[in-house]
């Protein structure tokens, strides 16, 4: 007796179909799973056997061989429990095989036959539709995520017995549907607002410019100045996510298993803030077995905040250099290479010196010039060159903290950011490699960042005085282009260029202690 049905497994943020082949022979009882299964898949033998028996169905005393094809790709996770159980029930004639044609099945089984949710459902549903499958059977808790994919019928179930009765035409299950647009609109809310920040008008302005052009930012200031508080409000200034961006971000979070319970779609831009003890594999992706997305991919279409930047290991910071340029990271293994998207905004913060009081008029710095230089040199020049905006954050004065006057709200600032992004969308229409000013290539800079004579003289003076690198030169022009977009100007004026130059404070001061 033989049966065959389809399931799927994730590799990176995509999924591939897996054929579940079940062969039954009239021999002494045994249960073997082949096809490069990991430990979780091997352990499904005990879960599947107990679930079938506790569902009022039978496991005959025969020899069962289950093959997961293709056999040369490692299979991970517990999502194969339900398809393996249905393969046994089909091969032993307890349920018909015909209803499983054009159907994909996945789900973890409890010992009593209940279905538990699994990770990576959205990539699986997208792969199913792409391969012409018209129906997917899965745990009810994963139904919203699967129902996001149009032209794919989602059948939610709570137990193995319910699935068996449905396939035997004994008990119907209504297909699950969701209102995609309503779901997308309902969650785009934040619990914080930039108006909560007292004072720091120069920092708020820098964040507005950064959000408008998608520029990376580093803040330098003493402890308690509000760097973390401001950083957490960056997502509130960014344009709302498009539906395609939300789907792509949800795929990454689904594969990583960090989607909150009851959440089918990531609708707010992610904000990730890893601790400075993080490893390079946890930051960019990797790990044992099939590589998993790291923090830079979990921040895709959102913000990655690195607090106390010099405290991160140097090798951890250096591995970010290429992803910051390419907006993707490729992780190579002996038999497999995986590419994860990581188009994120980097927001970093640091103290100006080890004690944090260098340049603070209200406290005395106890660090020697050598200690300050050693502290600053923990961040390499090439990494700093990839950060467009350097901004000094001063300690907030008492009068500003005690003031009851609130500044602009995030919604007001976001309106200007959205208008500036619209100009960039029109500027780069038809392009697939550039969507905002931070993405501009050298050719784009020559075309869209032309300077008049006064601007050229100003930039020449800044280059000679500050010793800017060629990449920093490009960054200044990109930021100036964004400032002009915010002002509604088609040309870059000297005042726009002057403000952009002010956002290179690390080049201007701290390297010359």
CB 100 within 8 A of CB 181: no
The token duo for 234 is 């960056």
- The predicted pLDDT at position 186 comes to 64
Predicted local distance difference test score (pLDDT) of residue 68: 96
CA distance 422 to 428: 10
Q: Is the Cβ–Cβ distance between 485 and 424 less than 8 Å?
A: yes
Contact, 43 vs 77, CB < 8 A? no
Scored b (16 or more CB within 10 A) or e, 264-279 reads bbbbbbbbbebeeebe
| Model confidence pLDDT, tens digit, residues 31-83 | 999 999 989 899 999 999 999 999 999 999 999 999 999 998 888 889 999 99
Closest CA to 56 of 169, 136, 154, 162: 162
Q: To the nearest whole number, what is the mean pLDDT of the chain? A: 89
Dihedral sign (CA 321, 322, 328, 332): negative
Per-residue pLDDT 10s for the chain (513 aa) are: 899 999 999 988 899 999 999 999 999 989 999 999 989 899 999 999 999 999 999 999 999 999 999 998 888 889 999 999 999 999 999 999 999 999 999 999 999 999 999 999 999 999 999 999 999 999 999 999 999 999 999 999 999 999 999 999 999 999 999 888 777 776 566 788 888 888 888 999 999 999 999 999 999 988 888 899 999 999 999 999 888 899 999 999 999 989 888 788 898 899 999 999 999 989 998 877 677 899 999 999 999 999 999 999 999 999 998 898 888 998 887 677 888 999 999 999 999 889 888 877 778 888 888 888 888 888 888 888 889 999 988 887 766 666 777 778 899 999 999 999 999 999 988 887 788 999 888 888 888 998 888 888 888 888 887 777 677 788 899 999 999 999 999 999 999 999 999 898 776 544 444
Query: 487 near 449, Cβ under 8 Å?
Result: no
Q: Give dist(CA 10, CA 38) in Å, integer.
A: 13
CATH node for 2-178: 3.30.230.10
136 contacts 155 by C-beta, under 8 angstroms = yes
Give this prediction's pTM. Answer: 0.89
The whole-angstrom separation of Cα 284 and Cα 291 is 10
Q: Per-residue DSSP letters for 308-353? A: SGGGS-HHHHHTTHHHHHHSEEEEE-SS-EEEEE---EEEEEE-SS
Residue 427: its H or E element:
helix 410-427
Neighbouring-strand partners of residue 10: 15
> Cis link prior to 70 (omega < 30° from 0)?
yes
Output the DSSP codes for 240-261.
PPPHHHHHHHHHHHHHHT-PPT
Residue 69 DSSP one-character state: E
Which of 373, 326, 379 is CA-nearest to residue 348?
379
Give the tens place of pLDDT for each residue, 75-123.
Answer: 888 999 999 999 999 999 999 999 999 999 999 999 999 999 999 999 9
CB 204 within 8 A of CB 163: no
Residue 109 backbone dihedrals phi, psi, to 5 degrees: -105, 135
Q: How many angstroms separate the CA atoms of 414 and 235, rounded?
A: 10
Domain boundaries, the chain: 2-178
Residues paired with residue 340 on neighbouring β-strands, in sequence order: 329
């Amino acid at each position: 007796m033989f049966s065959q049905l389809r399931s799927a497994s994730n590799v990176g943020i995509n999924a591939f179909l897996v054929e579940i082949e079940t062969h039954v022979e009239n021999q002494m009882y045994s249960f073997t799973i082949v096809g490069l299964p990991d430990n979780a898949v091997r352990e499904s033998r005990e879960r599947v056997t107990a679930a079938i028996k506790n569902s009022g169905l039978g496991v005959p005393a025969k020899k069962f061989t289950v093959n997961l094809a293709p056999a040369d790709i490692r299979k991970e996770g517990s999502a194969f429990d339900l398809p393996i159980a249905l393969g046994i029930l089909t091969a032993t004639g307890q349920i018909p095989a015909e209803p499983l044609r054009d159907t994909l099945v996945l789900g973890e089984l409890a010992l009593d036959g209940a279905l538990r949710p699994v990770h990576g459902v959205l990539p699986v549903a997208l792969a199913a539709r792409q391969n012409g499958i018209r129906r997917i059977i899965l745990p009810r808790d994963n139904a919203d995520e699967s129902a996001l994919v149009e032209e794919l019928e989602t059948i939610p179930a709570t137990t193995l017995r319910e699935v068996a009765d449905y396939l035997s035409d004994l008990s119907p299950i209504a297909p699950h549907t969701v209102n995609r647009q309503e779901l997308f609109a309902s969650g785009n809310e934040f619990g914080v607002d930039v108006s909560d920040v007292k004072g720091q008008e120069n920092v708020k302005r820098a964040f507005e410019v950064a959000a408008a052009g998608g520029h990376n930012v580093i803040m330098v200031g003493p402890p308690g100045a509000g760097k973390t508080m401001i950083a957490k409000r960056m997502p509130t200034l960014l344009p709302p996510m498009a539906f395609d961006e939300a789907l792509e971000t949800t795929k990454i979070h689904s594969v990583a298993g960090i989607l909150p319970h009851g959440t089918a779609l990531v609708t707010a831009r992610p904000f990730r803030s890893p601790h400075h003890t993080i490893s390079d594999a946890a930051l960019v992706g990797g790990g044992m077995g099939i590589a998993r997305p790291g923090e830079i991919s979990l921040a895709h279409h959102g913000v990655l905040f690195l607090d106390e930047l010099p405290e991160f290991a140097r090798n951890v910071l250096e591995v970010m250099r290429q992803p910051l340029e390419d907006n993707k990271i490729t992780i190579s293994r002996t038999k497999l290479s995986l590419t994860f998207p990581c188009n994120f905004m980097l927001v970093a913060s640091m103290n100006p010196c080890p004690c944090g009081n260098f340049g603070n008029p209200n406290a005395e710095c106890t660090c020697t010039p050598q200690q300050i230089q050693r502290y600053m040199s923990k961040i390499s020049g090439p990494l700093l060159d990839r950060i467009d905006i350097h901004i000094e954050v001063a300690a907030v004065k008492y009068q500003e903290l005690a003031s009851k006057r609130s500044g602009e709200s995030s919604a007001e600032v976001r309106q200007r950011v959205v208008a500036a992004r619209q100009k960039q969308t029109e500027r780069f229409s038809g392009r697939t490699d550039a969507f905002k000013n931070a993405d501009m290539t050298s050719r784009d800079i020559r075309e869209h960042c032309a300077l008049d004579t006064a601007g050229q003289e100003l930039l020449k003076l800044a280059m000679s005085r500050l010793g800017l690198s060629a990449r920093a030169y490009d960054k200044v022009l990109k930021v100036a282009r964004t400032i002009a977009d915010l002002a509604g100007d088609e040309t870059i004026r000297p005042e726009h260029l002057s403000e952009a130059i002010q956002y290179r404070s690390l080049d201007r001061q701290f390297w010359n202690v």
